[in-house]
Amino acid sequence: MDDKKQIRAQGARWRRLDNTAKLFAAVTGEELSNVFRVSVTLDEEIRQDILRRALVMTLDECENFRVRLRKGFFWYYFETNNREPTVEKEENCPCQFINPHAGNRFPFRVSFYGRRINFEVFHGLTDGLGALDFLRRLTENYLRLCAGEKEPAGEKIKAGEHTGCDPLLSDENVILKKWGEKDVRGGLSGSEDGYLRHYKRRAHRRYETKCAISPRGELLPLGLQSVIHGFVDLNELKCVCRDAGVSVTKYLTAALIWSVIQVYSDGRQLLRPAALNLPVNLRSFFETETAANFFSVVNIAWPAGKAPESFEEVLRLTGSQMDEQISKDRLEERISYNVSNEKKWYLRIAPLPLKRLILHLLFARSMRAYTMTFSNLGKVSEDFEYRDRAESFQLLLGVSARQRIKCGAIAFGKNVCITFTSALRDTKLQDFFFRFLEEQGLKTELESNGIGTSENDRGNYPPVCRDGKKIKKAVGIFYMGLFMAALLSGFVNIITYSKIQVRWSLLTIGVAAYIAMTLRFSVFRVASLAGTLLRQSLGIQVLLVFLDSLGGYTGWSLDYAVPCVIIFDVMAIVLLLVTNRINWQSYFMYQIAVTVLSFVPLLMWALGWVRQPFMAVLTAAVSVLGIVSTFVFGDKSVIRELKRRFHL
């Protein structure tokens, strides 16, 4: 295979997810996006064509962002994605779920609106500092192109081609070394797993799981969330913090806890703690420049019981908790706890679906200990080019069912931008917080996206009138209708069976289940062609057995029909492999799944359920021949694919 084909090959390189990314990948879904946004507002309208060119240039500099999320047997992993990145005009609310199968399959989304550039990213790819570094590079490249500077010589990039790839793609050691190199432009680079590098086996503490206060109120329609920015003068905020003897993060954390207590309690007694989930940048304590995730979280809380009588009480407790928890020794305990769980043999060998279930339960249990998340990225570095062309940066955190309000802060120039994102219609927590800052002498300039409240809407966000709640309700009603039809047919079949001794309700139930599965996995969900084929064939096989049972079960379904469907699957996936040689990896796991499935008829023959073994033997033989052919013609690339798919 020549170098040009290697450069164009999808998935030529791969890497394991870092410790935190494994958790995010396992628990993420439409109900929990784990997406956050960093944005920059410039002094002129954004030009889409130039922004797209700047994005391609930036991806060429930041190799570790040119990836897609893939599913292995034991873990998720990232592999190179050489598709053409896209830039969209913003139309929806921030931090929407990024479907790993949709679009060009990048785990991030670049959009623009008016004078603002948005970089939304799946948290499994990077953390706040990594995303901010990428946005800074993207903005610099965009403004450089706007100023008329040319792209580097020879860097004219064609669709689907990535010139930044190392031509020695067959040497995995060289590849992994290149992905870890330090970028000559400075900033974060590489994809080193800082957690594993700094892991020490030592005594550790578990995360808090006691339920905290949960913000309550009327929910916004599905898919909508309100955004409220508060711009505060940085020097004035520093003066207030200096007078109080605390850092900016401590002061804002205490102000948020004080606001939660005043808004969601009677101010005298707390039935549950008022707790903040506070991310901590581990790069400040441990030597690494990785652009992958490298942060930990601490629980800063006012405990259940007597409420504080003054803000100063909250400030003192917050400061002491942060001093105690945000130290290298305590953070090493966090790293030890997280990595030790990943290293447990029984968790490592558990198949991915089982891991997802376990991690979902653990994540939900830990998230109930927080009222909300507050993330402070600090100040944008002074070496940011074209500082005079940027007006502000913003940090927006995607909300979830458990944390319906989140808050992010970032400083640039003379101002700090404090942003609340919320799934609640009312804004009483945000109103109290900013009013409290005003009372402390901090003048606050507000801006909203017009959702929840139209006050302070400056037209800098797109109008979103889509009511996703109606769509979800209609889908729910349809599923309920299918369920009721199946239930009613079964009931009628039972009470009339003495007169009509036919199990005709099995057909109704089977058709209803097949329709529900088709809608769920083939219509409402964007998935690969091979995945859709496999799920549909499984549904058809079950339906065929139902039809056979309806006619008194003569065995034709298991003897002939099911093997024929499996043979069709084998041939279809082989055809997909042959006709998609550049992206053949997308279908390899499905070929393995069909091969395993092809031995089911033989197992049924051994159990006596199949009376005519010819088709069962033929099915297994055809399937084995197909996968052997893949190994023979795929050579070493198949072994590499097995290694990434089944890595522990």
Distance between CA 489 and CA 299 in Å, rounded? Answer: 53
pLDDT at 273 over 80: yes
Sheet holding 390-397, edge to edge: 87-89, 108-113, 116-122, 35-42, 390-397
Q: Give the residue carrying structure tokens 């020097």.
A: 235
Q: Count CB-CB contacts under 10 A for residue 86.
A: 14
> In terms of pLDDT, which residue wins out, 416 or 478?
416
Instruction: Check: CB of residue 270 under 8 Å from CB of residue 261.
Output: yes
Please check whether residue 377 lies inside any domain of the structure: no
Which residue type does 568 have? F
Give the pLDDT score at 503: 64
pLDDT at 455: 84
The model's pLDDT over 38-94, given as tens digits with 9 standing for 90+, comes to: 999 999 999 999 999 999 999 999 988 999 999 899 999 999 998 889 999 999 889
Query: Does residue 154 sit within a domain?
Result: yes
Mean pLDDT is highest, among 102-106, 286-290, 487-491, for 286-290
Residue 616 lies in a domain: yes
Q: Is residue 346 part of a domain?
A: no
- What confidence tier does 549 reach under pLDDT thresholds 50, 70, 90? confident
Least confident of 59-63, 261-265, 393-397, 531-535: 531-535
Higher pLDDT: 174 or 518? It is 518
Q: Give me the mean pLDDT over the 263-279 stretch.
A: 92
Q: What would the pLDDT profile of 183-219 be if each residue is shown by its tens digit?
A: 334 456 677 888 998 888 877 667 777 899 999 888 8
Residue 4: pLDDT above 70?
A: no
Q: How confident is the model at residue 148 (pLDDT cuts 50, 70, 90)?
A: confident
Dist CA 192 CA 166 (whole Å): 18
Total number of domains constituting the chain: 2
Residue 300, domain member (yes or no): no
Going from the C-alpha of 228 to that of each of 264, 278, 413, 424, 458, the distances in angstroms are 19, 20, 20, 12, 11
Q: Residue 178 above 80 pLDDT?
A: no
Q: Which of 58-62, 176-180, 287-291 has the lowest mean pLDDT?
A: 176-180
Crossing angle (nearest 10°) for helices 311-325 and 248-264: 130
Q: Is the pLDDT of residue 345 over 80?
A: yes
Tokens of 328: 């290298």
Number of separate helices (H) and strands (E) present in the chain: 22, 17
**Mean of pLDDT over the chain:** 83
Please report whether residue 131 resides in a domain.
yes
189: domain range?
A: 3-35+42-107+120-197
Q: Which of 575, 539, 560 lies closest to 618, judged by CA?
A: 560
Q: Report d(CA 552, CA 164) in Å as an integer.
A: 63
Q: What is the pLDDT of residues 583-641, one digit of tens each?
A: 777 778 888 888 999 999 999 999 888 888 899 999 999 999 988 888 888 777 888 88
User: 23 and 363 in contact (C-beta within 8 Å)?
Assistant: yes
User: pLDDT > 70: what percent of the chain?
Assistant: 85
Which of 169-178, 235-244, 488-497 is the most confident on average? 235-244
- Maximum mean pLDDT: which of 320-329, 459-468, 472-481, 493-502: 320-329
pLDDT at position 223 over 50: yes
Does 57 reside within a domain? yes
Specify the CATH number for the domain of residue 8.
3.30.559
Residue 446: CB partners within 8 Å, gap ≥ 6? Answer: 228, 229, 230, 231, 434, 455, 456
User: Does residue 221 lie within any of the structural domains?
Assistant: no
Q: Give the contacts of 134 (CB within 8 A, at least 6 positions apart).
A: 58, 62, 65, 119, 121, 126, 291
> pLDDT tens for residues 291-322?
899 999 999 999 999 999 999 999 999 999 99
Domain boundary among 174, 197, 220: 197
For residues 410 and 7, the model is more confident at 410
> Using CA of residue 117, residue 123, residue 129, residue 134, what is the dihedral sign?
negative
The predicted structure's pLDDT at residue 521: 58
pLDDT digits (tens, 9 = 90+) for 432-469: 999 999 999 999 999 999 987 788 889 899 987 555 55
pLDDT at position 8, please? Answer: 47
Out of 141, 162, 197, a domain closes at 197
Contact 615, 601 (CB under 8 A): yes
Neighbours of 381 (CB within 10 A): 13
pLDDT at 254: 97
Angle, CA 104 vertex, CA 356 and CA 292 arms, to 5°:
55
Query: Are 212 and 273 contacting, i.e. CB atoms less than 8 angstroms apart?
Result: yes
Q: 3-state class of 92 per DSSP? A: coil
Share of the chain above pLDDT 90, in %: 46
Q: Tell me, what's the pLDDT at 408?
A: 97
Last residue of a domain, one of 162, 197, 232: 197
In the three-class reduction of DSSP (H, G, I as helix; E, B as strand; rest coil), residue 405 is classed as: strand
Structure tokens at 592: 């393995």
The whole-number pLDDT of residue 387 equals 85
The answer to whether residue 381 scores a pLDDT higher than 90 is: no
The 3-state DSSP class for residue 51 equals helix
Of 137-146, 192-201, 366-375, the poorest mean pLDDT is in 192-201
Q: What is the pLDDT of residue 169?
A: 26
Mean pLDDT of all residues in 1-8: 42
pLDDT given at position 163: 34
What is the distance between the alpha carbons of residues 636 and 641, in angstroms, rounded to a whole number? 9
